[in-house]
Amino acid sequence: MKNLYLILFVSILIIGCDNNLDIEPTDSLTPETLLEDPDNLDRLLLGAYSFADDQYAGEFQTVSELLANESNLAYRGTFAQFFEFERKEVITTNVFIRLLWANAYRSINLCNIVLENLELAQDPDQRAQLEGEAKFMRGLLYFEMVRYFALPYEAAGNNTQPGLPIIFDAVTDLSQISYPARASLEEVYTQLISDLQVANALLPPDNGFRADAYAAQAMLARVYLQQGNYAAARDAAHEVLENSGHFLVPDLASAFNNENDGIEDIFAWQVTTQDGVNDFNTYWATIEFGGRSQTADVTVEAPFFDLFTEPDDRSGFFYLGNGTTVSSKWQGQFANAPYIRVAEMHLIRAESNFREGTNLGLAPETEINALRARSNANPIIGLTLQDILEERQRELAFEGHRFHDAKRLLETIDGLPYDAPNLVMPIPQDDIDTNPNLEQNPGYNN
Amino acid sequence: MDKSIRYALIFTLLLFGKSALAQSRTISGTVKDSFYRPLFGVNILVEGTNQGTITDLSGFYQIQLTSGEALIFSYVGFNSQRIVIGSNSTIDVTLQPGNNLEEVIVVGYGTSTREELTDNIASLRAEQIKEIPVPSVQGALVGKAAGVQVTQTGGRAESGFKIRVRGVATINGDQEPLYVIDGIPIDKVDRSANSSPINSLVGLNPEDIASIEILKDASAAAIYGSRGTNGVVLITTKSGSSGETRFSFRSSYGLSEASNKLEWLNTNEYVELYTEAALNSGFTEDDAAFFFNLFSENEEDWRNGEVDTDWQDLALVSGSIHDISFSASGGDEKTTFFLSTGYNRTEGIIRGNSLERYSLRANIDHRANEWLTIGLNSNASKTQISRIANDNEFANPIGAIAQIPFSKPYLEDGITPNTETTLYYNFLMDQFNGDHKSNVWRAFMKLYGEVAFTKNFNFRSELGYDYNNQLEERFYGSLTEYASTNGFADALSFINEKYVINNYFNYQHFGNDWQLEATLGMSYEENKFKSLSIEGQDFPSDQLRKLDSAGEITGGFTSETAFSFVSYFARASATLFNNWLLKASVRVDGSSRFGSEVKYGTFPAASIGWLASEAPFLKDNKTLSNLKLRASWGLTGNANIGNFASRTQFVTRNYNQNPGFWLAALGDPNLSWEETKQVNFGLDLGFINNRVNTSMDYYIKDTEGALFLVPIPYTNGIRFVNQNAADIVNTGFEFTLDTKNIITEDFSWSTSLNIAINNNEVKALPDGADIVREEKIVREGEPVASFYIPEYAGVDPDNGDALFYRNTELPDGSLDRTTTADFAEASRRILGNPFPNVIAGMTNNLQYKGIDFSFVFQGQWGAQFYNAGGIYQSSNADFFDNQTRDQLNRWQQQGDITNVPQARLFGGNGTQQSSRYLEDADFIRLRNLTLGYTLPKDVSENLGLDRIRVYFTGVNLLIFTDFKGWDPESTWDFRQRNSLFSGTGFYSPPQARTYTLGFNVDF
């Protein structure tokens, strides 16, 4: 009898165990749950901003400066793969190039998810803003990428050279995976301009730290300049300068190292002590200010100062590293990373006016001298195009423009012609290995 | 002990007369083996009668006597024992094995014996793993079991071990075996804050272990179903036996050092090489001097060689190991116990690394009445670790070898580390002005009850609890890399709790020439993990190192994850005609980890064995004392696929302190365990009364649906999809040979040799497409994770350029073997694989009177090793990192024949990742050597002690290899979980060489 009870008891133990195989994660949402709430679309955009922040809060400006470098800068850091940029011998497995590509498409997918689900947002203002920001971000990312991964845009050509895969469809499910080929350069530019134009039309004039209508307009000015479409560049820059409410701060130092966007910042990448990393600071500041090394990884060398023949605040905006010269633009470890400053809009409008022979807004000479005055530099009398281009180098030094300017101006870099294969970055080997439809750029074999 | 037997004899004699008059009386007791494990089915016969009984599952017997003066205890293969009946009504017996066939083997939810076994199980006894001075038990397994590769990740005291049973059967899934302690699967996930693993068994005192079984083939491991593929390591801790309480005290102290150091340039050599490199790259001597001055305090330091720092010596220091343990075991007829406490202090061979462990154990078994046995196994430990940065960080002490020899390690005061003129951040500062401590609190608990319904039908219920709590705290002061924020600190704490319930029935039946054993049961397991982290900066003082002093809290999180398993299992084994052995088992596993479409999996197994030596035609053969043929088949799984890997997941990522979302994982609802079919054929042979024993096993381990992060184009916005995508086959052959070479009264010598050959091959991939990641490829027909890199072709004698083979495929299918100096023109080829084809171990034990001597060799062949740090360490002065001394053989002038290209500062001359940094990793190591002396019995007894032993042990004393790096077994810690990155090192420290003296006292 006793045994019978026991058998009953243990049988209960065996079958009575809680069969709990359904455990839900506590830190992630499925697409179904995520897309129940329209506010989550806005959060997907913040995700997209955050990945873009990884590349454009200083890292790719640094890459751009090293690619353009002849002797103005020295790379003293320890990342072997940064040396590849400095030597113009980038290999297909370069990790920075891989992240440039991977994170851009990561953000683009988040934007595409937003665009595919806009109908979730009932409020038309919210919907407009979501669409505007998603397209701003997508346009910006295609523009950033295409300048590295494709042969230069030829103002006179039909630009059929391979551009980038253009992706419109969101991927949230295995069945949506695609193996796209590269669209032509012209198609990429058409798409990104269209994105930025829609963004410009839909976004509000002021949008806090996020992209507003003028950030999109300013991006367009940049794009048109790169295309050599000076009239459009001039008009876009003019529009920004007239209406955005942003203007030059009175002194050079105030334009940089700001923890909140300054009045000169049309768009900046946000950095806080908790998220975002200011990579300008990482690579261009000494360890004392949050950089990677005693000397700063990227230092400014004597030939740079040949740009300055007269007193100019910008020639003294430096400090000493361990026997090296370091730019003062990037001393703030937790400062936002400027992306489009008003100064750039002035330079674009002045250059475009000059090339077009117009005086929209301001005469080029007046505009350039106004900019110079902020740095206590003497005015230039009898302004030439060369003066404007040099002014660009003085004002926008170490901000990532030099490489792209050299390409649009058809200049040689370190003895290489502007369209040399070595100056076009390889499509990351990972995607060449996984996507048979993807064509590698010339000069990259393995 | 002898004494008590003598007393027992005297009593017996005194009581002889009385017992003849005695009425019926009851004698009871427990029969155990020498490892204190109860023996089931021991035959007990009253001498001179046909009256008898057998022991039950807990080794207990009870017999009614009316006459007789002695009991005969016999058990297959154990030496029979005759015990004279005294006045005691309790007689506990420990049987000694007659030969190794009767060794009891733990098999998971039960035991078996070597003779009955039809599976491939490696079994190690306490004797085989004791006295090896490593803080973690896995270190004692090296070279001991055929087909089991045990590798320490590196030389850190707390560092993790990799155990690979019969090759690698996965790509991205976990490759570690399942660890089961006293029947309870334990948490084995490494959760170190800095990616350098902390051994998950660090809290277990090796002295508490009675035996370790490694279930290798599917038939053995299938009882653990979806978690059996990587093998199962069953650890059984010691228990007590009734009788006099025995005490044991062990203490050892040892010194350790790095088992290898490399040669680096000194100041003069550095200046010579780098001046040349600068000139070759178009710099002037003044430029070179400018560079050198950046890294030296005074010009004389480099110009006259006044400073010549050996940075390697600053990083690799001498360490020590101190180990003390104390145990007591004993009990009476109802209750037995084993109590122990241990202390280990290991000062690592890497500056700043140390470990301290305190452990307590109590194992208690109690017979409540004739049908109920209850017991408790409990273990609590605390481990404190002073940690160092992982291999990938600049603060990794090993990274210091990159520093320039004329940079001073310390400032003028000789105490403050110099961070002003060093090339890289000086790791000494992290230790001078910071802290990195980890505390691990671990408790293993098991409570069990066993009910005997009848003598051979019982039920056992086990409740297990594994508590793993870790707190890792780091502080970086105002002089460290965090100077710009006035210091930085973070703390990471986690708690992992695992509950396990096992309920199972055991049934045994003994016929005349057959026996049957059956097990049926279920198991439920739930694992919950919670973590908490906080970080902050801006500390008012370097003395205030806790986060309550931080001016700003800059981050923090809590997180939680869980998984569960519900399992049902059944096993039956039978012995027929005393020579046929049959076994079959099945397990059904359900898990929260599996995709919604595939919640449950079934894992059957079967095996058969034939004891030919028991058959009539061989039974009396004197030469061939054992001949057994075995065959097994089974299905196992690997369920270590991540807790929510089957789901599409959006997780948060902040921007400007606002929460954003991103797509972190693209799920596959069909995702499930990896499934492995394994066939094993084995042959056991014993000669000359089993003085020579040998086993041979051949296996095919066929894994389908190996879990794999299948890369997809980045253009999809996500890089990987977790899928059961690859098929992998491991085939292999294992050979063991145990010989008792010499046995005389005074001298004995035995040898144990194991050799395992394994061939690993990827059988199928999705669409047959190659998967390439960094320097690795997964390709059909090749071993998993083969090295896939451009092939270095040496140096152009004309100009010193590094050359690479083009290796592009020509129209006729052959390779273009011409060379090029343009790296971009060189195609990648498979040039090696990280897994050895052959691993072997050999143990010799010699004993002469009280002196014992043993040594273990271990070796591996056929694997390659890639030094990912080579592009910095041996780069013909490409950058300022100090170079290995072989770089002095650089090309200097036309006609020079060398393998080191011309030195070119910033020149990128051959410094890309290529086969230049790939090497063969074959080696033979003298893993362990022990020389001991046990004092003669009369000496120890005069001291009132049972046994005194003193010994010397050395670990990693010698290595025979052509490998040029620190250690062919030390791989990069921060990536060791992913088999794709196997066989690659990156500033990974060598293992320790240890010399230890110790003594044991039993009383």
* pLDDT in the model for residue B734: 94
* pLDDT in the model for residue B99: 52
Contact residues on chain A for B570, CB-CB shorter than 8 A = none
Q: How confident is the model at residue A120 (pLDDT cuts 50, 70, 90)?
A: very high
Residue type, A166: I
Contact residues on chain B for A209, CB-CB shorter than 8 A = 656
Measure CB to CB from residue A174 to each of B293, B721, B774 and give the nearest one. B721
Closest residue in A to B478 (Cα) is: A288
Q: Does A325 fall in a domain?
A: yes
Q: Across chain B, how many H-helices and E-strands are there?
A: 11, 50
Q: A225-229, A388-392, B823-827, B881-885: which range is least confident on average?
A: B823-827
Contact residues on chain A for B281, CB-CB shorter than 8 A = none
Can you read off the two tokens belonging to residue B26?
């009851």
**Total tally of structural domains belonging to chain A:** 1
Measure CB to CB from residue B555 to each of A7, A176, A274 and give the nearest one. A274
Q: Please judge whether B879 and A83 are an interchain contact, meaning their C-beta atoms are less than 8 angstroms apart.
A: yes
Contact by Cβ (8 Å): B735, B756? yes
Q: Please judge whether B872 and A106 are an interchain contact, meaning their C-beta atoms are less than 8 angstroms apart.
A: no
Residues whose CB is less than 8 angstroms from the CB of residue B509 and which lie 6 or more positions away in sequence, other chains included: B456, B515, B516, B517
DSSP letter string, B764-822: E-GGG--EEETTEEE-TTS-TTEEEEEPEEEE-TTT--EEEE--PBPTTS-B---EES-
- The pLDDT tens digits of the residues spanning A291-348 come to 988 889 999 999 999 999 999 999 999 999 888 999 999 999 999 999 999 999 999 9
Q: Which helix (H) or strand (E) holds B287?
A: helix B285-294
- In the three-class reduction of DSSP (H, G, I as helix; E, B as strand; rest coil), residue B110 is classed as coil
Q: Is B531 exposed, middle or buried (0-12, 13-18, 19+ CB in 10 A)?
A: middle
Residues whose CB is less than 8 angstroms from the CB of residue B620 and which lie 6 or more positions away in sequence, other chains included: none
Q: Is B938 exposed, middle or buried (0-12, 13-18, 19+ CB in 10 A)?
A: exposed
Nearest-CA distance from B824 to chain A in Å? 6
d(CA B632, CA B648): 39
Q: How far is CA A424 from the centre of its chain?
A: 17
Closest residue in B to A179 (Cα) is: B713
Nearest-CA distance from A384 to chain B in Å? 36
For residue B290, which phi and psi values (nearest 5 degrees)? -60, -45
Query: Is residue A376 less than 8 Å (CB to CB) from chain B?
Result: no
Q: Which helix (H) or strand (E) holds B365?
A: strand B354-369
- The pLDDT tens digits of the residues spanning B666-689 come to 988 888 888 999 999 999 998 887
Closest residue in A to B871 (Cα) is: A80
- In the three-class reduction of DSSP (H, G, I as helix; E, B as strand; rest coil), residue B583 is classed as strand
Q: Does A16 fall in a domain?
A: no
Query: Is residue A175 less than 8 Å (CB to CB) from chain B?
Result: no
Contact by Cβ (8 Å): B506, B571? no
* pLDDT in the model for residue B311: 96
Q: Please judge whether B590 and A180 are an interchain contact, meaning their C-beta atoms are less than 8 angstroms apart.
A: no
Q: Please judge whether A438 and B713 are an interchain contact, meaning their C-beta atoms are less than 8 angstroms apart.
A: yes
Q: Does A5 fall in a domain?
A: no
The domain of A56 spans: 38-434
Mean pLDDT of A423-442: 94
Query: Is residue A333 less than 8 Å (CB to CB) from chain B?
Result: yes
* pLDDT in the model for residue B135: 66
Nearest-CA distance from A195 to chain B in Å? 18
Q: Does A80 fall in a domain?
A: yes
Q: How far is CA A265 from the centre of its chain?
A: 14
ipTM score of the complex? Answer: 0.94
Q: Residues 550-569, chain B: which have Cβ within 8 Å of A?
A: 552, 554-555, 559-564, 566
Nearest-CA distance from B569 to chain A in Å? 11
Query: Is residue A311 less than 8 Å (CB to CB) from chain B?
Result: no
Q: How confident is the model at residue A188 (pLDDT cuts 50, 70, 90)?
A: very high
Look at the block and give the residue holding tokens 């006293």: B182
Q: Where along chain B do the CATH 2.60.40.1120 domains lie? A: 2-97
CATH of the domain at A105: 1.25.40.390
Closest residue in B to A20 (Cα) is: B564
Can you read off the two tokens belonging to residue B324?
């003390």
Q: How many residues does chain A have?
A: 446
Q: Are strands A337-341 and B25-33 parallel, antiparallel or unpaired?
A: unpaired
CA distances to B132, B322, B351, B356, B612 from B348, rounded to whole Å, are 16, 11, 7, 11, 52
* pLDDT in the model for residue A162: 96
Q: Please judge whether A31 and B650 are an interchain contact, meaning their C-beta atoms are less than 8 angstroms apart.
A: yes
Q: Does A439 fall in a domain?
A: no
Query: Is residue B537 less than 8 Å (CB to CB) from chain A?
Result: yes
Closest residue in A to B656 (Cα) is: A270
d(CA B357, CA B157): 11
Contact by Cβ (8 Å): A101, A63? no
Query: Is residue A14 less than 8 Å (CB to CB) from chain B?
Result: yes
* pLDDT in the model for residue B97: 61
d(CA B32, CA B48): 24
Q: Residues 678-737, chain B: which have Cβ within 8 Å of A?
A: 711-719, 721
DSSP letter string, B874-936: SSSSSSSS--BGGGGGB--STT---SBPPP-TT--SS-SSSGGGEEE--EEEEEEEEEEEEPP
d(CA B500, CA B505): 17
Q: Is the pLDDT of residue A19 over 70?
A: no
CATH fold for the domain made of B106-183+185-237: Ferric Hydroxamate Uptake Protein; Chain A, domain 1 (2.170.130)
Look at the block and give the residue holding tokens 């975002």: A276
Q: Is B680 exposed, middle or buried (0-12, 13-18, 19+ CB in 10 A)?
A: buried
Q: Does A25 fall in a domain?
A: no
Comparing C-alpha atoms, which of A426, A432, A417, A423 is closest to residue A444?
Answer: A426
Size of interface A-B (CB pairs under 8 A): 270
Measure CB to CB from residue A14 to each of B485, B522, B555 and give the nearest one. B522
Query: Is residue B666 less than 8 Å (CB to CB) from chain A?
Result: yes
Q: Please judge whether B718 and A109 are an interchain contact, meaning their C-beta atoms are less than 8 angstroms apart.
A: yes
Three-state secondary structure readout of chain A: CHHHHHHHHHHHHHHCCCCCCCCCCCCCECHHHHCCCCHHHHHHHHHHHHHHHHHHCCHHHHHHHHHHCCCCEEECCCCHHHHHHHHCCCCCCCHHHHHHHHHHHHHHHHHHHHHHCHHHCCCHHHHHHHHHHHHHHHHHHHHHHHHHHCCCCCCCCCCCCECCCCCCCCCCCHHHCCCCCCCEHHHHHHHHHHHHHHHHHHCCCCCCCCCCHHHHHHHHHHHHHHHCCHHHHHHHHHHHHHHCCCCCCCCHHHHCCCCCCCCCEEEEECCCCCCCCCHHHHHHCEHHHCCCECCCCEEECHHHHHHCCCCCHHHCCEEECCCCEEEHHHCCCCCCEEEEEHHHHHHHHHHHHHHHCCCCCCCHHHHHHHHHHHCCCCCCCCCCHHHHHHHHHHHCCCCCCHHHHHHHCCCCECCECCCCHHHCCCCCHHHHHHCCCCCCCCCCCC
Q: Please judge whether A171 and B421 are an interchain contact, meaning their C-beta atoms are less than 8 angstroms apart.
A: no
CA distances to A101, A112, A165, B856 from A108, rounded to whole Å, are 11, 6, 11, 58
Query: Is residue B828 less than 8 Å (CB to CB) from chain A?
Result: yes
- Sign (positive or negative) of CA dihedral B367, B369, B370, B371: negative
CA distances to B254, B334, B684, B764 from B91, rounded to whole Å, are 43, 12, 36, 61
Q: How confident is the model at residue A7 (pLDDT cuts 50, 70, 90)?
A: low
Comparing C-alpha atoms, which of A213, A32, A210, A202 is closest to residue A117?
Answer: A32
Measure CB to CB from residue A274 to each of B657, B665, B712 and give the nearest one. B657
Tell me the H-state helices in B296-391: 299-303, 311-315
d(CA B353, CA B376): 35
Q: Residues 176-215, chain A: which have Cβ within 8 Å of B?
A: 176-180, 209
Comparing C-alpha atoms, which of B941, B790, B809, B752 is closest to residue B866?
Answer: B790
Q: Which residues pair with B846 in a beta bridge?
A: B749, B853
Contact residues on chain A for B649, CB-CB shorter than 8 A = 25, 28-30
Can you read off the two tokens belonging to residue B975?
């990536």
Can you read off the two tokens belonging to residue B244?
């006099």
d(CA A132, CA A115): 10
On whether the B2-97 domain is CATH 2.60.40.1120, my answer is yes
d(CA B839, CA B167): 11
Q: Is the pLDDT of residue A361 over 90?
A: yes
B331: left (phi over 0), alpha (psi -120 to 50) or beta: left
Residues lower than pLDDT 70 in chain B: 1-24, 34-37, 48-50, 57, 66-68, 76-79, 97-103, 131-135
Percent of the residues in chain A that have a pLDDT greater than 90, as a whole number: 86
Q: Where along chain B do the CATH 2.170.130.10 domains lie? A: 106-183+185-237
